[in-house]
Every structure is written in structure tokens, then in C-alpha cells.
């Protein structure tokens, strides 16, 4: 029971992904499907925190959850974070190289994890539950 609780509400391990040995050539993209890329992540999906470090000389386009409304551009030498306030559930991340040169494996890294439940998030969920019930006249 305790392990199930920790997997559902606890903080996940930190998982790091990179572009692989071949890197990312100019104009190409790579889809990170966490469930298939690393089956260990299945227990903790969806993630609610992503950190992307772009140490290349190219700008990259990042699409979250294959949703064209969640497209972000990361300039060279930039670090960007997405957390549960900006994107509450992250299943996929696609990175497209918009530069003219190949991005090497170690020039772009991504760290993902799921933040555990906190007192603030617990109170927020309880508040939504209580007031949703009042609107439906259940209480």
C-alpha cells in the first residue's frame, strides 16, 4: 500500500534524457515519449516538471504533448523550466532543431520528474472539491 501511495502522490525519481549518440541534425526533430523511451517512467506519468538546457549554438522549438498551442522557442545557451503551474500534465516533449548545424548529444539535455503532493496542492484540491459540490447543491 505504501509503495502505491508514494507512486501516486509522492515525488518521482529524476529522469534525464538527451538526444542520443547521433544528436539532432539541422531541421530535424525528436519526440520524447517518456512511456516508451523509459518504461520505468510509466509509474509516475504524467510529469509536472521539465527542465531543458540548450547549450548548443542553435535555437530549438519545443512542443509539449504534441499540442500546437504549447509551442516554445529556446534560444542557444538558454535554460527553460515548465512546472505544474504552466503545464500540469506532461506526457510528450518534441524538440526540433531550427539551426543550420547538428546539435550534439551533450549540448541539449532534459530533466523530468513529477513533484509530489504538497499541503498547498492538497488544500487546493479540497477547495475545488467542496465548492464544486456546493455549485451542484450536493452539500
Question: What domain range is 36 assigned to?
Answer: 2-135
In sequence order, the 6+-apart residues with CB closer than 8 A to the CB of 24 are: 30, 95, 97, 102, 103, 108
**For position 1, what pLDDT does the model report?**
47
Query: How many helices (H) and strands (E) are present in the chain, helices listed first?
Result: 3, 8
The fraction of the chain above a pLDDT of 90, given in percent, is 65
Whole-Å CA distances, 93 to 51, 81, 82, 104 = 11, 13, 11, 18
DSSP at 122: H
C-alpha 15, offset from chain centre: 10
Q: What is the pLDDT of residues 34-45, one digit of tens each?
A: 999 999 998 899
- Structure pTM? 0.80
Looking at the structure of the chain, the number of domains it has is 1
| Positions of the chain with pLDDT lower than 50, given as ranges | 1
Residue 14: CATH number of its domain: 2.60.120
| 8 A C-beta contact, residue 55 and residue 108 | yes
pLDDT tens, residue by residue, 115-136: 887 777 778 778 777 877 666 5
Asked if 33 contacts 92 with a C-beta cutoff of 8 angstroms, the reply is: yes
74 closest CA partner among 54, 50, 94: 54
Amino acid at each position: 500500500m505504501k509503495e502505491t501511495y508514494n507512486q501516486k502522490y509522492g515525488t518521482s525519481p529524476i529522469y534525464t534524457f538527451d538526444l542520443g549518440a547521433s544528436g539532432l541534425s539541422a531541421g530535424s526533430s525528436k519526440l520524447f515519449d517518456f512511456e516508451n523511451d523509459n518504461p520505468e517512467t510509466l509509474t509516475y506519468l504524467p510529469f509536472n516538471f521539465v527542465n531543458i538546457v540548450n547549450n548548443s549554438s542553435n535555437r530549438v522549438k519545443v512542443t509539449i504533448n504534441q499540442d500546437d498551442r504549447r509551442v516554445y522557442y529556446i534560444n542557444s545557451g538558454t535554460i527553460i523550466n515548465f512546472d505544474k503551474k504552466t503545464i500540469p500534465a506532461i506526457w510528450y516533449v518534441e524538440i526540433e532543431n531550427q539551426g543550420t548545424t547538428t546539435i550534439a548529444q551533450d549540448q541539449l539535455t532534459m530533466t523530468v520528474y513529477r513533484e509530489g503532493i504538497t499541503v498547498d496542492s492538497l488544500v487546493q484540491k479540497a477547495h475545488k472539491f467542496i465548492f464544486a459540490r456546493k455549485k451542484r447543491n450536493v452539500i
